Amino acid sequence: MQNLYLFAFEAVVFGLLILCFRHAWKQGLPVVWQLLAGVLFGLLLEWATIHQLQAYHYGPFAIMWGKVPVAVGVGWGVIIYSVRLFSDSTNLSVWARPVLDGLLALNIDLAMDAVAIRLGMWNWGIGFERQYFGVPFANFWAWFWVVFSFSLALRFFGSMDISFRRWLAPLGAIFCGALGVVVTNALIVSVVPRAWYVPIVFSTLGGALWLILALRPRFYTRAVDPLVFWVPFAFHLSFLVAGLISRAILNPPALLLVSMVMAGLALYLHRPTVLGIGSKAA
């Protein structure tokens, strides 16, 4: 019997893709290509990571590309699209925005991954008690670098004074992002000593957060589409609801607390789009 939680996840993610595609279409075909490049990048990075590390495997999703659920690649694409849309509304420099993008994506995964493994969406094979509720700490290192690499490369190639840069930049982002994924995977698994494993993960993520806080960014310096709210809200809400219905989010109860805190942070940060004041500095 099809796992209904997997089906629901696919429905939510493809629904978000439609919303993102609608927004991108209004901006023009180069922006549509950026969105689709994010999806292709998501599929490629999952394929590369599974074959490189063989650290996890996915459940029986309805639509698969080999061992990779298409919905997971789409999920990467819509998350990257929405966080870039949000960071572009801040006063951060174009080179600091990818750091914020990585942290915003991490906010989603901190609430999603531990619930997902309890719903049978994927399996890390380490048990639910180890590391972060059964999710390796290195996963969050990877999440940050995945989004950071693609976002930085897209902005770098998009800033170059060359013809067709809006069309070529997504290709460069796919290549550099995939390279970044492979390199960082190799570093954390094969190069970094086990004794340094956790400190490096936490220092990297903590350093990224410190940098953004130190820059004291102003958000919503220009109008931004409510899409920046609906993407994280849909992820947080769907996993909260699925986790409560299945009671998976109560194993242990601290997981519910963490999920609610992450959802609360996202709602607080994106509240201006809901209140209709996204054009003001917040």
pLDDT the model gives residue 223? 84
Distances (CA, A) of 92 to 75, 97, 98, 143, 171: 25, 6, 10, 21, 25
**All structural domains of the chain with their residue ranges:** 4-275
- pLDDT at residue 220 is higher than 50: yes
Asked whether the predicted pLDDT for residue 88 surpasses 90, the reply is yes
Dihedral of the CA atoms 237, 58, 32, 155 (nearest 10)?
A: 90
Instruction: Indicate the range of 27-31, 96-100, 192-196 predicted with least confidence.
Output: 192-196
Q: Over 90: is that where the pLDDT of 163 sits? A: no
What phi, psi does 122 have (nearest 5°)?
-155, 170
Residue 65: pLDDT above 80? yes
State mean pLDDT over 253-268.
Answer: 95
| pLDDT value, residue 138 | 86
Q: Is the pLDDT of residue 49 over 80?
A: yes
Q: For position 2, what pLDDT does the model report?
A: 57
> What's the rounded Cα separation, in Å, for the pair 105 and 39?
15
pLDDT of 268 > 60? The answer is: yes
pLDDT surpassing 70 at residue 279:
no
Task: Give me the pLDDT at residue 281, please.
Answer: 40
Q: How confident is the model at residue 182 (pLDDT cuts 50, 70, 90)?
A: confident
Global pTM value: 0.94
pLDDT over 80 at 224, yes or no? yes
The per-residue pLDDT for 275 is 64
Q: What is the 3-state secondary structure (H, E, C) of the chain?
A: CCCHHHHHHHHHHHHHHHHHHHHHHHHCHHHHHHHHHHHHHHHHHHHHHHHHHCCCEECCCCCEECCEEHHHHHHHHHHHHHHHHHHCCCCCCCCCHHHHHHHHHHHHHHHHHHHHHHCCCEECCCCCCCCECCECHHHHHHHHHHHHHHHHHHHHHHCCCCCCHHHHHHHHHHHHHHHHHHHHHHHHHHHCCHHHHHHHHHHHHHHHHHHHHHHCCCCCCCCCCCHHHHHHHHHHHHHHHHHHHHCHHHCCCHHHHHHHHHHHHHHHHHHHHHHCCCCCCC
pLDDT at position 278 over 60: no
Burial class (CB in 10 A: 0-12, 13-18, 19+), 91: middle
Range among 67-81, 118-132, 147-161, 186-200 rated most confident = 67-81
Position with higher pLDDT, 280 vs 99: 99
Q: pLDDT at residue 104 above 80? A: yes
| pLDDT band at residue 133 under the 50/70/90 scheme | very high
Mean pLDDT computed over 228-238: 95
Please state, for a pLDDT cut of 70, what percent of the chain lies above it: 96
Closest to 7 measured CA to CA, from 117, 133, 113, 120: 120
- Look-up of token digits 């340094």: 196
Can you give the pLDDT at residue 186?
Answer: 81
